[in-house]
Amino acid sequence: MEKNNVIAIVPARAGSKRLPGKNLLRIGGIPLWKIAVRQALAAGIPKVVVTTNIQAILDLPHPPGVVYLRRPARLCGDRSRVEDAVLHVLERFPAEKAVVLNPTHPFRNIELIRLASTVICNDIPTAVAVFMDYHYTAREGCRLKSLNQAERSAKHLISGSIYAFLSRYLKRYNRMFSSNPMCILDPLSWVDIDTPMDYYIARCIYKKLGDHKQLYGF
């Protein structure tokens, strides 16, 4: 089987308990899983595989460069790991590098997806999207005080919106990022639609994007 240099994988499993059908929810009239597909193609990734057990997706015609792959039932449980679903895809569609785009993070900058897909190499086997998290309080003895912005300490947290890695790294270590990954700052990647409130916030953000919508593939 011919090996592609890079492949994008969109995990879209049915069965969410907190927000049923979340991968089919729409932002700007586009289902979340399809937003991820559009972003990957716009970033120049030649093949996108949607791994899913959602029949409504599997029944759709395949546009150029896109494959809908039925995820086995053994990989569809509440405790199933995304890594195992990704390995299943790579068995069918071998690639040197893989980029995983979780559908519940709709606000991914296309250029940062492109960067993540190209920066991976032997010296940088993994890359992840991160966002800035600020701590708003600090403990003074037994009291908590509010901090102004200059006093707040910032941390980079992995958002889960973009994981890029050498396929052999995943196969060897069974994880999608190393202890010291390349961190790609993507300010809106903190948006993760997992509850009705998350969905409401995402729709509000979309309305405020204005001309910047094109940066995210809308």
Domain for residue 140, yes or no? no
Q: CA dist 85 to 25, 77, 182, Å?
A: 22, 11, 23
Which positions ≥6 away from 25 have C-beta within 8 Å?
A: 19, 31, 32, 193, 199
How many CB atoms within 10 Å of residue 195?
Answer: 13
**pLDDT confidence of 144, banded at 50, 70, 90?**
very low
Helix (H, G, I), strand (E, B) or coil at 114: helix
pLDDT of residue 153: 55
Domain for residue 170, yes or no? yes
Whole-number Å distance between alpha carbons of 100 and 82: 9
Rg (CA), the chain: 18
Domain for residue 116, yes or no? yes
The answer to whether residues 48 and 10 touch, using CB atoms and an 8 Å cutoff, is yes
Nearest to 160 by CA among 198, 196, 190, 194: 190
Domain for residue 136, yes or no? no
Partner residues linked to 10 by β-bridges: 50
**pLDDT confidence of 135, banded at 50, 70, 90?**
low
pLDDT of residue 15: 82
Whole-number Å distance between alpha carbons of 90 and 47: 12
For the chain, the residue count is 218
Domain for residue 36, yes or no? yes
Q: Where are the alpha helices (DSSP H) in 99-161?
A: 110-119
Domain for residue 143, yes or no? no
pLDDT of residue 197: 96
Domain that residue 31 falls in: 4-130+158-216
| Pairing mode of beta strands 126-134, 48-52 | unpaired
Q: Which residue is it, tokens 């785009």?
A: 101
pLDDT of residue 1: 44
In this prediction the pTM is: 0.89
Domain for residue 106, yes or no? yes
| Residue 94, domain CATH | 3.90.550.10
pLDDT of residue 139: 47
Report the chain's mean pLDDT, rounded to a whole number.
Answer: 89
Tally the domains of the chain: 1
Whole-number Å distance between alpha carbons of 66 and 20: 25
Residue, of 151 and 51, whose pLDDT is higher:
51
Percentage of the chain modeled with pLDDT above 90? 76
Question: Residue 64: pLDDT above 80?
Answer: yes
Domain for residue 135, yes or no? no
Note the pLDDT tens digit of each residue in 78-124.
888 999 999 999 999 999 999 999 999 999 999 999 999 999 999 99
**pLDDT confidence of 150, banded at 50, 70, 90?**
low
Note the pLDDT tens digit of each residue in 6-28.
999 999 998 888 898 999 999 99
